[in-house]
Amino acid sequence: MKEENNVINQEKYIEKIRELNNGKNLKYSILTMGCQLNENDSEKLCGMLEKMGYTRTEDVQEADINLFNTCCVRENAEDKLFGKLGELKRIKEKKGTIIAIGGCMMQEKHITDKIKESYPFVDIIFGTHTLYKFPEDLFTAMEEKRKIEDVLDIDGEIHEGLPIKRNSDIKASVTIMNGCNNFCTYCIVPYVRGRERSRSPRAIIEEVKELAKKGYKEITLLGQNVNSYLRVEKEKNIEFEEYEGVNSFATLLHALNKVDGIERIRFVSPHPKDFTDDVIDAIATCEKVCKLVHLPLQSGNTRVLKEMNRKYTKEQYLELVEKMKKTIPNLTLSTDIIVGFPGESDEEFEDTLDVVRKVKFEQVYMFIYSRRVGTPGDRMPNQIPEDVKHKRFNKLKELVESQIEENNQKYVGTIQKVLVEGTSKTNENMLTGRTDSNKVVIFEGDKSLINKIINLKIVSEHMWYLKGNLLNKECD
Ligand code: SAH
Ligand code: SF4
Ligand code: F3S
């Protein structure tokens, strides 16, 4: 009840700002860095701002509020924010724009200290646990004309019922849990997002049913560790209401598979250590659950994995892949890999290449290890020199690209079910969509096909996309 009251309380601030803004036609810009969870948070910030009477603009010069939703998982995100802030200073001086920065990076004290010292023109700083309070923070900043810092260092609660303005009318993200308890030694996320806590089955199922009613075809379930959904609650005897038989990630997949209108279900990111058999069976048997599974590897070497605190070995990862391939027809896999973790030797890096060669991922998201203040990895003595990290990165990239080319060839001549998402960004006369395995397909067709799942014959491959031809037949 307390959480609900918190959100209702924010409605009052939304209304107050709406009254202040009445007739002014004010605009906001928002820049989101980071993962899909952050994108989903930004959709909520957009929902709040639009309810307050602001409309979105992509032009920071034109905006009355400039908002950043930040990420701190790797160093380059910080460079990007500080670069942008320099640019905004001039606009602020000219126009008196409100500048608000939120998200993961604001949970880091050394960063908020730097902002306050070097960028004192920033009006509002808010963290991941106080996002729901943005209307109140904005109102206070406007009314009292003072700087606001609203960052909580505790585990925030889950706030249901926030307004939301989604980026797409076809695909929607649904956050099912917040936080992470895994503490991989390279990763900052557990420190900035707090401990794992799951949304209630009822809230998730109702959100998905509502999305289906609005015509959404695809949902992506989000969390830092989706396949441990409700695990902490069960371990700690935290009461939760079972709804439509949902008491785990697998049962959630089964329940959502029954929602009429939703055609595709994706999820990111699961952790290999929590990939239980019931989840594998659910992917295999639920026809709407896409057969592309993101299975973060991080490293293919058992010693490095141990240092990373990943809790699986190279062999266990490969066994899991084999089991999944056996159980799930047409399975494809994507993954995340970090190169240059402290202490990683050339031979150990070869193990990563070995796993990549063996598994033949559909897609590999590759990262150069980035030291994060406050993580155990940052304190490890044997940091890898930048040039070695880059050499390894390039070697991995070369392997991955050669595999993509080879893999794409397999699509040519096949018929694929494609969810049509819109017109191609590069060619107005072409449509674009995605296969179950999330490959982009470009094809010629009528705009009435948008938001439908259709059969396409793949005629050629072009590294990052496929070309298809219509069969003039919609799927059942
Ligand atoms: N919870 C998810 C994703 C976390 S962040 C998971 O466990 O898979 C997304 C990816 O960023 C990670 O999978 C990892 O590959 C990468 N990453 C995280 N911290 C990093 C760091 N310090 N340096 C480089 N890459 C990092
Ligand atoms: Fe970071 Fe590991 Fe948690 Fe993923 S599982 S968010 S990599 S600590
Ligand atoms: Fe970045 Fe925060 Fe996501 S650190 S990756 S935006 S959870």
- State if residue 10 touches ligand 3 by the CB under 6 angstroms criterion: no
Residues 104, 193: Cα–Cα separation, whole Å: 7
pLDDT value at 474 more than 60: no
pLDDT exceeding 70 applies to what percent of the chain? 98
| Element (DSSP H or E) covering residue 30 | strand 27-32
**Is residue 320 within 8 Å of 314, Cβ to Cβ?**
no
Q: Max alpha carbon distance in the chain (Å)?
A: 66
Q: Residue 472's pLDDT band (boundaries 50, 70, 90)?
A: low
Residues 136, 123: Cα–Cα separation, whole Å: 13
**pLDDT value at position 459?**
96
- State if residue 35 touches ligand 3 by the CB under 6 angstroms criterion: yes
Atom number in ligand 2 closest to CA 188 = 1
Could you tell which of 104, 181, 187 is best to mutate to test the pocket of ligand 2, judged by most ligand atoms within 8 Å of the CB? 187
Residues 118, 112: Cα–Cα separation, whole Å: 10
Residues 187, 285: Cα–Cα separation, whole Å: 34
Atom number in ligand 1 closest to CA 187 = 19
pLDDT value at 475 more than 80: no
pLDDT value at 12 more than 90: yes
- State if residue 180 touches ligand 2 by the CB under 6 angstroms criterion: yes
CA of 18 to the centre of ligand 1 (A): 39
Atom number in ligand 3 closest to CA 37 = 3
State phi, psi for 404 to the nearest 5 degrees.
-65, -45
CA of 397 to the centre of ligand 3 (A): 23
Measured from the alpha carbon of residue 193, the closest ligand is 3
Measured from the alpha carbon of residue 341, the closest ligand is 1
- State if residue 222 touches ligand 3 by the CB under 6 angstroms criterion: no
Atom number in ligand 1 closest to CA 223 = 1
Average pLDDT, the chain: 94
Most confident segment among 74-78, 114-118, 294-298: 294-298
pLDDT value at 79 more than 90: no
- Closest residue by Cα to atom 4, ligand 2, is 224
pLDDT value at 180 more than 70: yes
- Average of per-residue pLDDT across 112-136: 95
Residues 193, 128: Cα–Cα separation, whole Å: 6
